[in-house]
Amino acid sequence: MKLVNIGYGNLMNADRMIAAVAPDAAPIKRMIAEAKEQGSLIDATCGKKTRTVVLTDSGHVILIALQPETLANRLQTDSQEEI
């Protein structure tokens, strides 16, 4: 299990992540609303603006305040440290 820092003291299992997308598109907004209704939405923004939506293989939707590029850089940095 590889954990990645998603900000404000929150960590997530990077192995379970399917995609990290921007929250601006209408289909993503619908996905967030559906996840909220189903109880599978995790808000890890600590009250900040949502800048990235992470989709997991378990069907959870995670809202984070980091830019997608920042998250990608953290994932790459973590994977390079393992080598």
Q: Domain of 15?
A: 3-82
Identify the pLDDT of residue 77: 82
Identify the pLDDT of residue 82: 67
- Using DSSP's 3-state secondary structure scheme, residue 51 falls into coil
Q: How many domains does the chain have?
A: 1
For 4-61, the pLDDT digits (tens) are 999 999 999 999 999 999 999 999 999 999 999 999 999 999 999 999 999 999 999 9
pTM over 0.85: yes
Q: How far is CA 32 from the centre of its chain?
A: 12
13: Cβ contacts below 8 Å, ≥ 6 apart: 1, 2, 3
